[in-house]
Amino acid sequence: MSKILVVYYSRTGYTRTIAGRVARACGADLDQIEGYKTRAGAWGYMRSAVGAVMHLDAPILRPRNEPGGYDLILIGTPVWCRNVPGPVRTYIKENRQAFRRVAFFCTYGGSGQNKVLRDLEILAGRPALATFAITDSEVASKLYNRRLSKFVAKLQNTSKFIGQPSHGEPLFDDNLIGL
């Protein structure tokens, strides 16, 4: 069976929530991009904003799961100042030569999501099989089951490489997704 990796960066938990749901729906492995610098509080916010606007790389820990071992890499990220966060930029630049197929998702407050999804394709050097963007309020309200389901269905239609969910679970169980 084909192997799928969901890898994400999350400062405040929104992207982590969605990454977990996507991984479970696809039967994928899950990995987190971790930076060395703290991004908590006002200074962390400022550092994140400046780095994103200036397209700065940010040092990250070595990933636990080597992307070269996967048929499809799904990358999840927040939107920072209408840009890709430094840690995600660095992850892609350091690993893109190992990517086969890619898909992207992002969480955001209200703007910049389409630009970020395009930037991710440019950074990765290949088109996404599918993309998905979701606002913080949608994540908080948990009203994303249908949209998330469409995202995974599109991945299934455009790739023969999506595995079945682990443990024989249906692709989307309302109890799992949290409607």
Ligand X SMILES: Cc1cc2nc3c(=O)[nH]c(=O)nc-3n(C[C@H](O)[C@H](O)[C@H](O)COP(=O)(O)O)c2cc1C
Task: Give the contacts of 17 (CB within 8 A, at least 6 positions apart).
Answer: 139
Query: Which one of 58-66, 78-86, 144-152, 155-163 is the stretch in contact with ligand X (CB under 6 A)?
Result: 78-86
Shortest Å, Cβ 56 to ligand X: 12
Please say whether the beta carbons of 176 and 169 come within 8 A: yes
Candidates 34, 136, 169, 173; binder of ligand X (CB under 6 A) is 136
Q: Which listed residue (36, 40, 42, 110) binds ligand X by CB under 6 A? A: 110
Count Cβ atoms below 10 Å from residue 107 Cβ, excluding itself. 26
SS3 37: coil
**52: burial class by Cβ within 10 Å (0-12, 13-18, 19+)?**
buried
Selected from 49, 153, 176, 177, the binder of ligand X by CB under 6 A is: 49
Site for ligand X in 82-101 (CB under 6 A): 82
Residues of this chain that interact with ligand X (CB under 6 A) are 10-16, 45, 48-49, 78-82, 107-112, 136
